[in-house]
Each structure stands twice: as C-alpha cells, then as structure tokens.
Structure 1
Amino acid sequence: MIATGLATGTTADPDIAARAVAQAMSRLAVTHANSVLLFLSDAFARDPQPALLAASRQSQCIQIVGCSAAGIFTEQDWVLDTPAAAAMIFSGDLSLTTAHSPELDDLVLALTAPNAINRGWINAPGRRFGGVAGNATGHGLFKVWNNGKINPNNRCELYIQGASGEIGVSHGIRALTAPTVVTASNGFDVISLGRQAALNLLARELPLEVRELDHIPLHLIMAAEVFGDPDTALAEGRYRLIPVIATNPDDRSVTLASRLAEGSMMFWALRQPLAAERSMRVTLDRTEQILGHRPDFAIVASSSGRGPSFYGGEDKDLQVITRLYPDMPMIGFYGNGEIGWLNNANQLLEYSTVFGLFHYDV
C-alpha cells in the first residue's frame, strides 16, 4: 500500500516530480493514488506549482502534500545540490488527510517553512513530528503545500490514515558531563553549573583531541537541556540540544542560542558521528518496541547538519534504517529544525533526526 520513487534532473523540470510519482506507482502496480507525499529539492523552491500539477496528473490524485528542502531522500538514495523529487504513494486503505483540529493524543505530521515557524503552532494539541523546510542558514524561498497547492500559511499538519505510528528522536551526541543544575545565568549566558564556572566545567571535560585544537569547535559543542528525571534522561533521549554561540574567558561563562533559567538541568555534549550512528540504532529499536510491530514504512526529518556532510560524505542514519529494515519504503528531507514529541510535549529541535515508524492497521 506504500511505495516511493526518486528522480533527478539537470533543471527544475516538472517532469522530475512526475517521474518520481510514476516510479512509486509502478512498484505498487496502481493507476491512481489516494495521496502523495512529495518532497522537492530547493531548485523548485521559487515556483513548485508546475511540479505539483505534474505529480497530481501522474497520480490521478489532488492530495499532494509536502515541502521543498535543501536535500531529500528515500530508501534508495539521498540527493543534495541537484534538482530532484522524492514521492511516497499512499494507496489501498492508506491516505494523508489535513488535521484541522488535532486531539492531544493524535499523531500529526507537521511541516513548516522557516518564515512560518510559530511556537504556538508547534505546541498545539497532537503528538507532532516533522521539520522546518529550510537550509542550514534558515533562509531561502522554501515552501509547504497541501491539496496540490502552495499553502499560503507555509505550514501544514496531517494525519496518516490507515496506519498506527510512533515517533523517534535521535540526538546523536556524546555526553561530556552528567546533568547538572544551572546555578547562575544571565540572559543567554550560562554563568555557573553546580556552582562551578560553566566554561571551566566544559573545558575540563572536553576530549583530549579537542582540547589540543587551537580553538574549541563551537559548532560541535552543545548544551543539552534535560526534561524530567535527570538520572534517566540521557538513556531515554529526554533532552533538547542548544547550540553554543560563544565562550567568554573573562567571566568563564558560555553563551547559548536560547535561554536556560536558573534551576534547570543541563549537560555539555559533543556532536560526534559514531555517537550519532549508535543513537540512531538505539532509537529505532526503542521506537519499534513501543510500536509493537515491525514497521511497514517511515517518514523522516533530518537536520542539514546531521546528513552526509556530518558523516563524511555518506548518510549513516539512512544506512542504519535500511540495514535494519531492508526494502522498507522511507521518505524524508534535510531541514533547518526538527519537530518531535519529547517528555509529553512538542519540541523544536536542533541537529537531530526525527522519524515516524508506521504499521498498517490491517
């Protein structure tokens, strides 16, 4: 009931979208689809409507849903910096429908463009997963569509009808310290942790190979805000990553991308490919156990900072999925912020991979 297609070209030709759809439909041997989840590369971002029309004609379906993104992928391959389309066809008893008024426990696929991120929308009812359809800088003419048309609000939320699903969040970090209470902060600056200077604690716990560098690689250092019981937060993935903006030798504080209140719990972490790959395996296994079934298909939103460039030219997150679930249909995109359900709340995440694993309701 589910299949994917992936097509590329040299220019943003609408036929690329039609070919991706046709490839997926041929795998299912169907003449029409109930719904199409369509991700287009950023080459289509300025005017995706012709590609949406081509996908609609090919699928004989008006429910074309998706977004443009810096990169896209299926279980077949990933594509960056090339005009491309990835399509997932829903047929039989499966479909995508607009979620107008989600209930608290509803599983919702949430997509948004960078200029439409809204904290109230992210925190609205429903267990949400998805991402921000932007590039690594958070800029660009990225768009979101639903019902075969560009959504003027540049965001949408959807039910996956005919399947049960669970959300997984893989942060992909190596913890450098145990969770510690923030004992002093000022705006975006964390001044002390457990009454130790924040920078002193960070510098002392950096691995030797990092300390020997001329400069601390701030793009790899993260603060991790803990939710719930700190003793089990790391093992259960109950934390969100916050980028480090600057270190301040004068007062030994560290400036973060968002505020941490005094009394909150956090730990220092290092973004590391081996840890990320291991995190992906563990998170997939845990999510499958919660689902209670071997998944039939997956939808993935991955950070642009977590894809092939992070792994040295290959996306090992995708390799983990395809090794665990050979031939399972999967579709996703690389964005600039991931939306995931953590500690009974929707969170806007950084440098993470968020996915939904789904099992047919039959």
Structure 2
Amino acid sequence: MDMFRVAHATATDWRLAANACLAQIGNVPPEANLGFLYVTDLLATDLPNILTFFKEQTDIIHWVGSVGVGVCATSQEYNDEPALSVMIADFPPDSFRVFPAIKADIDEFAEHRVWCEKFDAHFGVVHGDPRNPKTPTFIAELAEAINDGYLVGGLSSSRGPNFQIAGGLTEGGLSGVVFSSKVPVATAHTQGCSPLGQKHQVTECQNNIAIRIDDRPALDVFNEEVGEVLARDLSRAAGYIFAGFPIKGSDTGDYVVRNLMGVDTENKLLAVGGYLNPGDTIMFCRRDINTAYEDLLRMLRDIKSRLVGRPKGGVYYSCLGRGVHMFGEDSAELRAIRQELGDIPLVGFFANGEISHNRLYGFTGVLTLFS
C-alpha cells in the first residue's frame, strides 16, 4: 500500500474535467485496485458516464464515492461548481470489500459479514442516502456487524440525484467499502459548534418536540440559554443556534448536533431535528467560527501525534455548513489540513451529515489517514 494518487478539476463539460484528472494521475500502475470518486451535484446526471470513463481508462474495477454540493482534494475546495475529485490507490490483496447499498435491512449485508469475519475487518468508508430514514440506524447496525467496528463517511448532498458509488452506481441506502486489519488507519473528527450554558434533561417530549426541559417549559429554558437578544427575535437563531446531545460514555465531551426546527411560543414548545426521549441530556450550541477553527487545528495535531511515519493518503468529509460557509473563501479548511499534515493525497466532499464511528453527526469534519 505505497501508492496513492490524487487529481481534481473543474469544467462545465465532464469530459474536460475527467481528462484533466486523468492527466494529473499519469500512468496508472497495474497494482492500483481501488478508486475514490466524488463529483459535485452539477455533474450528478453525468456520473454514469464519468464512472464508466474512469473504469475504462484506469482498468480499476472497484470504486466508491458520492455526490456533493461541494467536493475537496488536497488543499482545494470546489463549492457549487462542476468539479471532480479522484484518488486511486493500491491496497494489499484481499484487504477490502466493496458492498452495495443497504436499503431495507442490515441482513442485506450478510454475505459481506462472512468476509469481514474471515479477514478481520473493523473499519469502513461509507456513503449514505439522506432520503432513507433508516440510514442512521444502518450506520449503527453496520458498525456492530463488523465486530463493533469504526465507520467514516458522509451522506450525499445534492440538488439532483443522490448517487453513491459502490462498484457501480447505487442509491437509497448505505454503501461503501470495508477494510481488513491489513490496512492501518488513523481517524478523528472536529466539531463546528461550541456549547452554550449547561446541560439539561428532557423531562417531557413527543417525537421531536421538547415539551418540558428540567421540568420547566422547554422554550423558557432555551430562551434563558441563548440570551435576551436572540430570545426576542427567534428568527435570528436559525442557522446559528443548535441543539446538542452529549454522547453517553464519551470521555472527550463528544456530542452530536441537530438543527432547531421551530418553536411554539404560545405553548412554549421547541422542535429539534431528531427524535427525543424522556431523560435525554440536551444542551444548546452556537455556530462559532473561531472555536471551530481552533478545534480543527486541535484535531489535526492530535491525529498527527498518533501517526507512525508520513500518511500515504486520506479522505475527508466535512459538513455543508463548514467549508466556504464557515471558514470563508480560498479553501481555508483544506489548507489548514495541508498546513498541519503536509501535501498528502486527500479527497472527500461536503456532506449532508457526517459519519464517525457508529453515528451520524452534523457540522463536523471527519478525517481518516491511511498509513
């Protein structure tokens, strides 16, 4: 596993972008056996032709990837423009297995589970369809199915087709590639929000609506935490304030972030982007650019400290709300990765939800390095 090559390009005609990527890759070694391919949604309808092109031109059969409103490569982000991001690699024989979308039941993964047990697979790169309400459940079940393994990836983000790539084109569920223990990896994620105030307990709820928090009207607790200015004009909180749910057993203060979906000022109710249960711990978070950048650097320095030697390549999955929308123009998020880790081959996309370990996150960046 010594060869990783990355390429990226933008062009309104997919053929021009694909040929530019092929030129950057150069001669494809015969041992190259897995490709990662990410395209922006402005080229989503061309993805069948794009995938066929790379299979024919590289002789690589196995490909994984997804569609995103934005894609990224080493130090470069492409947002809301027609672009491709490609990486090819050679992995040891029998060290990975590509699987198509799990759409209805985890039993659809049964034949691949046998391979995972035989080759000691505990890690996977996966892509999900945000339209399938079972996708978060599949993430947890798949991680358990590969011996309590670790997953990274993201949900497709698209204003058109929500294609994923897993050998061929697929959609409607969770797909990707699992790796055996022959493939060493290091992975970490960074948060894009910072907590406000203290932790609270949901004491009464219905589906995704918090009725009472700390045995008080939910909206009263929320208003106290976000402050008088935002409480007077709740529309200003949209896209800035979120609900956070600490992960039980985490020794790093980890939490998942969900959108605030609405309020009922008359009945003092608060709706969030996820189902609630009585007894859930909830806190409120704000979208904080400075804190997010500091946490990005913390994550990068942490993963660097765990590496043995220079990484050969990597994949990065960031939230649609990050990138240009949080850190500004000039590919600041991807340039920070290069600044801390060097000019390593790296590809990924801006997702509609990020996957790390066994759950779905929001407003995070998930980095995995192959060593």
- TM category (shorter chain) comes to 0.7 to 0.9
1:39 maps to what in 2? 38
SS at match of 1:250: coil
TM-score normalised according to structure 1 size: 0.84
Q: 1:255 aligns with which of 264, 267, 271?
A: 271
Per the TM alignment, residue 288 of structure 1 is displaced from its structure 2 partner at its CA by: 4.1
2: distance between equivalents of 1:208 and 1:325?
Answer: 42
1:187/1:112 CA distance change after superposition, 3 Å: closer
In the alignment, residue 36 of structure 1 is paired with which amino acid? G
TM-score normalised according to structure 2 size: 0.82
SS at match of 1:128: strand
User: Does 2:164 match 1:163?
Assistant: no
1:81/1:282 CA distance change after superposition, 3 Å: same
SS at match of 2:188: strand
1:96/1:71 CA distance change after superposition, 3 Å: farther
2:156 maps to what in 1? 133
User: Does 2:234 match 1:205?
Assistant: no
Asked if 2 retains the 8 angstrom alpha-carbon contact of 1:105 and 1:127, the reply is: no
2:64 maps to what in 1? 65
Alignment of 1:1-362 (within 5 A): 1-11=3-13, 13-25=14-26, 30=29, 33-91=32-90, 93=92, 97-98=97-98, 100-101=112-113, 102=116, 106-116=122-132, 118-123=135-140, 124=142, 125=145, 126-135=149-158, 139-147=159-167, 149-151=168-170, 155-160=174-179, 162-206=182-226, 215-229=235-249, 236-289=252-305, 295-341=311-357, 346-359=358-371
2: distance between equivalents of 1:97 and 1:22?
Answer: 28
1:53/1:217 CA distance change after superposition, 3 Å: same
Q: CA RMSD in A?
A: 2.8
Per the TM alignment, residue 187 of structure 1 is displaced from its structure 2 partner at its CA by: 2.9
1:30/1:208 CA distance change after superposition, 3 Å: farther
Answer with 78-87 or 160-169: which moved more: 160-169
What are the superposed Cα offsets for residues 229-276 of structure 1, whole Å, 9 maximum, x if unpaired?
Answer: 5xxx5x725211111011232233321111221111121100111121
What are the superposed Cα offsets for residues 186-233 of structure 1, whole Å, 9 maximum, x if unpaired?
Answer: 33222333334332333233367756867432222111111225xxx5
Asked if 2 retains the 8 angstrom alpha-carbon contact of 1:7 and 1:16, the reply is: yes
* Structure 1, unaligned runs of 5 or more: none
Q: What percent identity do the matched residue pairs reach?
A: 21
1:329/1:238 CA distance change after superposition, 3 Å: same
What are the superposed Cα offsets for residues 108-157 of structure 1, whole Å, 9 maximum, x if unpaired?
Answer: 0011233456344212223211011123xxx521211233x213656422
Asked if 1 retains the 8 angstrom alpha-carbon contact of 2:76 and 2:335, the reply is: no
Per the TM alignment, residue 278 of structure 1 is displaced from its structure 2 partner at its CA by: 1.6
Asked if 2 retains the 8 angstrom alpha-carbon contact of 1:131 and 1:336, the reply is: yes
SS at match of 1:236: coil
Asked if 1 retains the 8 angstrom alpha-carbon contact of 2:129 and 2:171, the reply is: no
SS at match of 1:277: helix
Asked if 1 retains the 8 angstrom alpha-carbon contact of 2:129 and 2:135, the reply is: no
* Structure 2, unaligned runs of 5 or more: 100-111
